[in-house]
Amino acid sequence: MSDSGNVLFTVKVDALGHVISRPNRFLLLADVELPDGTVYRNEKVHVHDPGRLKEILYPGNVVQLRKADREGRRTSWDLVSGKVGGKWVLVNSSYHRYIAESILSSPFSPVGRFSSLRAEVRAGASRLDFHLTVEDGKVHYVEVKGCTLSRDGRALFPDAPTTRGTRHLRELIRLKEEGCESDVLVLVLAPDTECFIPNAKCDPEFARAFRDAVLAGVNVHPVALEFDGMNVSYGRVLPLCVHSEDI
């Protein structure tokens, strides 16, 4: 069942862009069109998501942009989203924390109601996104991942190798073994997905750590989200893909 009427987060968009190129992970060049029709050529856009995003950031594709709110930056704009199959896909990872916190604070939180929440907490050699104490007294460590890639209805993470993501999973396994609850909250931003699976072809080490985490009892919550170009809404919890050659 979908709860798509539940808005979690609203995004401010100032302009549209047409992709020219992506010189490096964090820089996009685009022609920018303001709502009044004014066009700025070859503008520098900051990309918050370090993933490859090849299905989104290709020459000619349309993207949404937000004007940089800090003077003196090398880039004048922040990338918000891009079109995939006629739908907007949010690709700004700086929003993930706020979307995740909204989910955790909502009636459909996968961990239940909490009495305390702390963000950006140290755990061993890592820093995890959230530490929660829920009403039954259990402590949950929650790590958030954003998923923008899908193929044949399967949401895939990551779309680029991530040693940091693998380290987070190993830390969650350790915490689970010590008696805490460990959770991975996957924000599935790719549209039209039916299930979630680690992208073993892209990052086999992450896929192995993911499998080990599931076997160790780490909770995985892939939440399908809907983005209409302005509002991020809750969709539904996806199952893990089964009977796949990638797991």
pLDDT in tens, 150-192: 999 999 999 999 999 999 999 999 999 999 999 999 999 999 9
Which of these three, 32, 55, 90, is where a domain ends?
90
Distances (CA, A) of 233 to 97, 115, 225: 15, 24, 6
One domain for residues 38 and 57: yes
pLDDT at 5: 61
pLDDT at 71: 77
Structure token digits, residue 86: 């006629």
Q: If pLDDT is split at 50, 70 and 90, which confidence band does 135 have?
A: confident
* 247 belongs to a structural domain: no
Encoded amino acid at 119, one letter: A
Q: Is the pLDDT of residue 243 over 70?
A: no
pLDDT at 127: 95
* 245 belongs to a structural domain: no
Q: If pLDDT is split at 50, 70 and 90, which confidence band does 237 have?
A: very high
Q: If pLDDT is split at 50, 70 and 90, which confidence band does 246 have?
A: very low
- Strand pairing class (154-157; 7-10): unpaired
Which of these three, 39, 58, 90, is where a domain ends?
90
- Strand pairing class (77-84; 87-90): antiparallel
One domain for residues 15 and 111: no
One domain for residues 119 and 195: yes
Separation of alpha carbons 55 and 183, rounded Å: 28
* 115 belongs to a structural domain: yes
Residue with tokens 């402590």: 139
One domain for residues 68 and 107: no
CATH assignment at residue 56:
2.40.50.580
* 1 belongs to a structural domain: no
* 167 belongs to a structural domain: yes
- Alpha-helical (H) ranges within the chain are 96-104, 163-177, 204-216
247 Cβ contact partners less than 8 Å away, ≥ 6 residues apart: 197, 198, 200, 207, 211, 240, 241
In the chain, how many domains are there? 2
- Domain enclosing residue 13, as ranges: 8-90
Average pLDDT in the 133-159 region? 96
Global pTM value: 0.94
One domain for residues 155 and 49: no
One domain for residues 36 and 99: no
pLDDT tens digits, residue range 61-97? 999 999 998 877 899 999 999 999 999 999 999 999 9
pLDDT tens digits, residue range 13-63? 999 999 999 999 999 999 999 999 999 999 999 999 989 999 999 999 999
